[in-house]
Structure 1
């Protein structure tokens, strides 16, 4: 009955979440269903197990959600993201429209701009480029997804994405875990994705297919759509409803100035991870008032938070006179982080209740017993949980909450580098999370004004197939050569 309860609870969560019900309500209900089937105490699991795990997630990662959403909003309202997109458009032009959209998305998201902020800027840019180049509009979501939701989210060393931050407290790693393998995975995702998109473009031209005469992309409507909002806030760290709050600058900064805050994110993150924090005396972290904890558990979050804070100060300093209403922009950015953090935390709380069920031991033993070794089973676990929840961050946290300590024990026994597990886990969470019910997919299609029928297959190819190829390559190379 316990295993049946887990399946029923998960089924209720997926079924109703796909129809736009709030995860804040669904997750505890699904958790109580699982606990009820197992004959476990309901109130204890709600207030202690569920809320305890959700609260720990908020305590660990709210600084990153807050600073990430705020930075994205500041970059948007200052005109910096638009300036970068226009720069890529001018330099590459309609003849290389596909590459321009992909590289613009990669640049801003690797620099710390929220995925959803990038969507709302890149969609109008892509619309103009694809129309001028005569490329079918249906390929635009896949091009944006390749640049924003694949290698810059899970593979590039030092990426400030929340997915790259989640394994750090579990494995004691930094944002730059397994950098060589991350670069290889990034090259595979980017190379495969561009090959697929260019091939699709050639096939469309041969068939005589053009941009089409559809109406402009309903960007504003997508931001206000309640269904889009509920799905989106479980996928990434920005609430779409805040995208049009605040006040946008009347003029854009020069491209080099617009890119400076992105550079600050990368440089400060690198210095904090590899130079500053390792030299600090943080023995005070062993005191009871701080947990106790260790630098290995908090250093990664500190690095990313410091990098985002430095970038926020930079974008404000550069554009201070350009902001029509700095306070309203800051308020909108801060507010944009609240619903996402609690939505993902609720998914994590559901996972904690499931992991506490006696029947979960069967699931755990099955996952750990998958042939191929711990890297394969870890990749499988993060893949499946991200797919079921429709959230890379939620699925990854559930997997590591329930199985992370076990994998660390296995790593210690066989000499497996935690940095390799970090990279495998993050890439694994960014593959099957892009199923049709994923919030980022739903939002992207809405922003571009296309449908699943028109555009989803190409999203699968660049967002799932390419990522799985990269994941297999990382596991194979890492198993032979170790982490590098």
Structure 2
């Protein structure tokens, strides 16, 4: 009965989330259903197990959600994201429209700009370029996915994307875990994405297929759709309802001023991870007043938080005066972080209740018994949970909450570098999360004025196919030569 309860609770969560119901309601209901089937005390699971795990997630990662959303909103309202997009358009032109969209997405998301902020800038950029080049509109979502939701989210070393930060407290790693393997994985994802899009463009030209009809107002409609919002907030770290809750700058900064905060994110993240934090005497963290933790458990979060804070300070110094209403922008950015983190935390709470069920031992034994060793089983676990929840962050945290200590014990026994576990877990979570019910996919299609029928196959190839190929390569190389 316990295993049946887990399956029923998960089915309810997935089905009603797909219908647009709030995860804040669905996750505790699904958890209580699972507990009821097991005959466990419901209120104890809700207040102790569910809320305890959800609260720990908020305590660990709210600084990153807050600073990430705030930075993204400041970059948007200062005109910096648009300036970078326009600069890429000018340099590459309509004849390289796909490459321009991909690279613009990669630059802004690797620099720490929230994904949904990037979507609402990249979609107009892609529309203009694709129209000028007469490339089918249906390829716009796939081009944006390649640049913003594949290698810069899960593979490129140092990316401040939330999924890349989640394994750090579990494995004691940094955002730069397994950098060599991350670069290889990034090259595979980017290569497959560009190859497929070039192939689709050539086929469309041969068939005489052009850009097609414009879809005016698509972005505004996506912002105002409550169902899209409910699906989106559990998928990424920015509430799209806050996109238009402040006024953008009337003009754009120069490209140097626009790009400088992104450079600061990367440089400060690197310095904190490899220069500053390793020299700190953090023995005080073992005291009860600091949670009895270690530097390795918090260093990654500290590095990314410091990098984002430094980038925000830089942006305010060089472009802050250009923002019409700084208070409104700051409020919108802060508010944009709240619903996403509590939605993901609710998924984490659901996972904690499921993991506490006696029947979960069957699931754990099945996962650990998957052929191919711990690297393969970790990839499968993160893939499956991210797919079911429609959230890379939620699925990854559920998997590591339940199985992270077990994998660390296996790594110590077999001499596996935790950095390799980190990189495989993140790439795994960023593969099958791009299913049709994923909030980021639904939002992107709406913003671009496209449908699943028109564009989803291309998203599958560049998003799932490219990431899966990179994941296989990292597992194979990591299994042979270890982490580097």
Report the Cα offset of residue 246 of structure 1.
1.4
CA distance in structure 2 between the aligned counterparts of 1:223 and 1:285, rounded to whole angstroms? 43
Separation in 1, partners of 2:214, 2:326: 36
SS for the counterpart of 2:249 is: coil
CA distance in 2, matches of 1:316, 1:81: 14
How far 1:217 moved relative to its partner?
5.3
Match for residue 469 of structure 1? Answer: 469
Query: Partner residue of 1:51?
Result: 51
Aligned residue number for residue 341 of structure 1:
341
Q: What is the aligned partner in structure 2 of residue 248 from structure 1?
A: 248
CA distance in 2, matches of 1:251, 1:192: 36
Q: CA deviation at 1:216?
A: 2.6
Instruction: Say whether the 8 Å CA contact 1:285–1:294 is kept in structure 2.
Output: yes
Give the aligned partner of residue 22 of structure 1.
22
CA contact (8 A) 2:380 2:428 kept: yes
| 1:212 aligned onto 2:217 | no
Offset of 1:459 from its aligned partner?
Answer: 0.3
Question: 1:295-335 deviations in whole A, cap 9, x for unaligned?
Answer: 00000000000000000001111112201100110000000
Partner of 1:39: 39
Given that 1:2 and 1:38 are in contact with CA atoms closer than 8 Å, whether structure 2 keeps it comes out as yes
- State the match for 1:427 in structure 2: 427
Give matches, 1:110-149, under 5 Å. 110-149=110-149
* TM-score, structure 1 as length reference: 1.00
Aligned equivalents of 1:224 and 1:69: distance in 2? Answer: 19
Shift of 1:256: 1.4
Shift of 1:214: 3.5
Where does 1:43-192 land on structure 2 (aligned, <5 Å)? Answer: 43-192=43-192
- 1:431-470 Cα shifts (integer Å, max 9, x gaps): 0000000010000000000000000000000000000000
User: 1: CA distance between counterparts of 2:248 and 2:307?
Assistant: 24
What RMSD, in angstroms, separates the aligned Cα atoms of the two structures? 0.5
C-alpha separation in 2, matches of 1:429 and 1:213: 35
Equivalent residue of 2:96, what SS?
A: helix
> Partners in 1 of 2:213 and 2:277 — Cα distance?
55
Residues 124 and 217 of structure 1 are in contact (CA less than 8 Å); yes or no, is this contact kept in structure 2?
no
Aligned to 1:410: 410
Distance (Å, rounded) in 2 between the aligned partners of 1:232 and 1:317:
32
Is the 8 Å Cα contact of residues 83 and 254 (structure 1) preserved in structure 2?
yes
Indicate the SS of the match to 1:336: helix
Structure 2 residue aligned with 1:460: 460
Q: What is the count of residue pairs matched by the alignment? A: 484
Deviation digits for residues 321-366 of structure 1 (CA, Å, limit 9, x no counterpart): 2011001100000000000000000000000000000000000000
Partner of 1:228: 228
2:303 paired with 1:306? no
Report if aligned partners of 1:49, 1:352 keep a CA contact under 8 Å in 2: yes
Partner of 1:321: 321
Secondary structure class of the residue paired with 1:235: coil
* Shift, 1:213, TM fit: 1.8
2 CA distance for matches of 1:224 and 1:213?
22
CA distance in 2, matches of 1:199, 1:174: 37
Q: Distance in 2 between matches of 1:252 and 1:70?
A: 19
Partner Cα distance (2:355, 2:470) in 1:
29
Quick check: 1:167–1:422 contact (8 Å CA) kept in 2?
Answer: yes
Q: CA deviation at 1:224?
A: 1.4
Q: CA deviation at 1:424?
A: 0.2
Q: Does the 8 Å CA contact 2:257/2:319 hold for their aligned counterparts?
A: no
Secondary structure of the structure 1 residue equivalent to 2:315: helix
Deviates more, 1:289-298 or 1:315-324: 315-324
Give 1:223 shift: 1.0
CA shift for structure 1 position 387: 0.1
Contact 1:262 1:311 (C-alpha < 8 Å) held by counterparts: yes
Residue 247 of structure 1 deviates from its aligned partner by 1.5
Match of 1:371 in 2: 371
Matched residue, 1:443 = 443
* Structure 1 residue runs without a partner (length 5+): none
Q: Does 1:395 align with 2:389?
A: no
Matched residues in 2 for 1:480 and 1:159: separation?
Answer: 25
